[in-house]
Structure 1
Amino acid sequence: MWFKNIKAYQLTQPLSLDDDDLQNALSEFTFRPCGSQDLNTMGFVPPLSAAGESTMMFHQVQQRYWITLKKQEKILPAAVINAELEEKVAQIEAETGSTVNKKAQSDLKQEIVTRLLPQAFTKNSYTHGFISLPDKMVVIDSSSDGKAEAFMAMIRKAISSLPVVPLSRRSLQGELTHWLTDGAPDNIELLEEAELKSTDDLESVIRCKNQPLDSEEIKLHLDSGKQVQKLGFAWQESLTAVIAEDGSFKRVKFTDRVKEETDDIPKDQVMARLDAEFALMSGELCQFLDYIRTTLKLNDDQ
């Protein structure tokens, strides 16, 4: 259990979670598969379900609550629907000699979707996240704002309230550019990856990978006024990632030093291994995100 992308949020008000109440609340929104006419369904599943017949709708370590949201959606390609619609419209026009208007085509399309839905394949996806009460944070494994918002919306439905704001409520391009021009803060090592964007109307973008960021080429782009939008970095000896100007993190990779701490747990002890991995990962992430929050003075924006 290692998150690969991070959308982080700060709790704006104290939040208390009782284990029994949380279990009951999440169970009210347990995942159910799509019915014959459902385009998609969404609900909570036990995070440790991969380890066996777990019925707990969350997993808790040191008041960090791991919650998993499952989404199932029908796969109904637009090309298939449009092909059937085109064929049906052509048939009607040939039989009646009249053009099928847009309203009639819309009704025909809905009829086709209704007929095909029960036969459609389904696709499952999972969004993992955790609420850390001691750190006053919500951390979601997602690169998509939409998926992160859907995750939090479902939790709000279950527990009635989840008062949060994004980890950063402002663009960080100024700070990230400063890291590149004047040096990164302590414990941050810049890697050879960045994305720079001009501030003029052209909004030209330069992306570089495996490129020394202190090279003359990069300096010329910075001197021309481009600002850093994304920046690859390593933090201590714990993880590497790419930070974006909106305060999100992509391609998070934990180092062998961290992952090796679970090597003594036999692979067949799946639940114990998942528990240990979550404890390690969530602890490292909370420490890292608090470092970012403090270093960039993000609490000052509250």
Structure 2
Amino acid sequence: MWFKHLHLYRLHDAPELDAATLEEALAEQAARPLGGQDPRRLGWTFPGGRADTARLHELQGQRLLSALRQERLLPAGVVKEEVDERAAEVEAREGRKLRRQEKLTLKEQVVEELLPRAFVRSQRVDLWWDTRRRLIGINASSRTRAEEVLDLLRETLGSLKVTPLATQTLPMRAMTQWLTDPASRPADLVLGDQVELKAKGDDGVLRARQVDLDSDEIQQLLESGRQASKLAVEIEGRLSFVLHDDLALKTLRFGDALIDEANAADDGDDALLRLETDFVLMAQALGENIERLIAWLGGEAGTASDA
């Protein structure tokens, strides 16, 4: 259940929906098997897997939804090989070279024939909706996947005004400051051992892992004008992650105390109760620590604190 990545969004004028109404709306956009000619499909599935009967789990103002993304895998190389073979047969039979448009038509035919036989890759993408904080967090490795799930939620609800979470201080500026000036670091912030430094010109990106971020080598790179676009940090004893310059949190790891609390909970070997227990603990930890992170970054952009 524990999220690995998190893309964060601010809800504006969030729709007032009770759990039953939302569950009904999710069912209308439920995941269904791919049709023979469907290259991909996205729909809502059960967060708890086959044993689950609800597409929405809501506890203490925290909502858990799961989208199922299905995609047929048809490698471009396979298509090209088949197109080339068929084109060669036609050219040999008719004694002429096929025109570009004819090859494109041939490619469309090949894709249409091979697609129903292609393997299907399925991926579940979990969504956390904090109704009290008006936050949405999506457990996806890329912003593109997160946006796909947001589009599905928007379609499901009819409308959804949501924007990527943004802060007064740009993450890149704050991360660079934390690296160059230890005194600027919040009291409960601990640097990790991973960083990505971008140059202002065309010198590319430097990535370093398992390094001392306070070392002279890192400081020299910063003095040359490089800025931190990714930085491994830990909110002491609570949560660790790699902060990205777009405010995405990657490689999330939760504190031992929280994991121990989850393991100690009595779920009676009920898988769905275990899911909900883990989810509530995770959601509470994420909500509290995201608020702490926003404060470190000067507060949220576009709020009254701008004045």
In structure 2, what is the equivalent of residue 125 of structure 1? 123
Q: Distance in 1 between matches of 2:203 and 2:156?
A: 42
Q: Distance in 1 between matches of 2:267 and 2:176?
A: 45
Q: Distance in 2 between matches of 1:24 and 1:142?
A: 25
Q: Distance in 1 between matches of 2:256 and 2:139?
A: 20
In structure 2, what is the equivalent of residue 239 of structure 1? 239
In structure 1, what is the equivalent of residue 181 of structure 2? 182
Q: Distance in 1 between matches of 2:91 and 2:301?
A: 65
Q: Deviations over 1:71-117 (max 9, x none)?
A: 11111111111111000000011111111111111111111111112
Amino acid at match of 2:204: S
2:192 is paired with a residue of what secondary structure?
A: strand
Q: Determine whether 1:277 maps to 2:275.
A: no
Q: Distance in 2 between matches of 1:294 and 1:17?
A: 30
Give TM-score scaled by structure 2 length: 0.93
Aligned-residue CA RMSD in angstroms? 1.6
1:127 is paired with a residue of what secondary structure?
A: strand
Cα distance 1:222–1:92, how it changes in 2: closer, same or farther (>3 A)?
A: same
Report deviation, 1:266. Answer: 5.4
Would you say the 8 A contact 1:192–1:212 is kept in 2? yes
Cα distance 1:284–1:75, how it changes in 2: closer, same or farther (>3 A)?
A: same
Amino acid at match of 1:275: E
Alignment of 1:52-91 (within 5 A): 52=51, 54-91=52-89
Report deviation, 1:295. Answer: 2.1
Q: Which runs of 4+ in 1 moved over 4 A?
A: none
Report deviation, 1:14. Answer: 4.2
Q: Distance in 2 between matches of 1:235 and 1:273?
A: 25
Report deviation, 1:49. Answer: 2.5
Deviation larger for 244-253 or 262-271: 262-271
Provide structure 2 residue ranges, at least 5 long, that are not aligned to the other structure.
none
Identity of aligned residues (%): 30
1:237 is paired with a residue of what secondary structure?
A: coil
Q: Distance in 2 between matches of 1:42 and 1:246?
A: 25
How many residues align? The count is: 299
Would you say the 8 A contact 1:180–1:213 is kept in 2? yes
Give TM-score scaled by structure 1 length: 0.94
Provide structure 1 residue ranges, at least 5 long, that are not aligned to the other structure.
none
Alignment of 1:161-172 (within 5 A): 161-168=159-166, 171-172=170-171
Report deviation, 1:267. Answer: 7.6
In structure 1, what is the equivalent of residue 90 of structure 2? 92
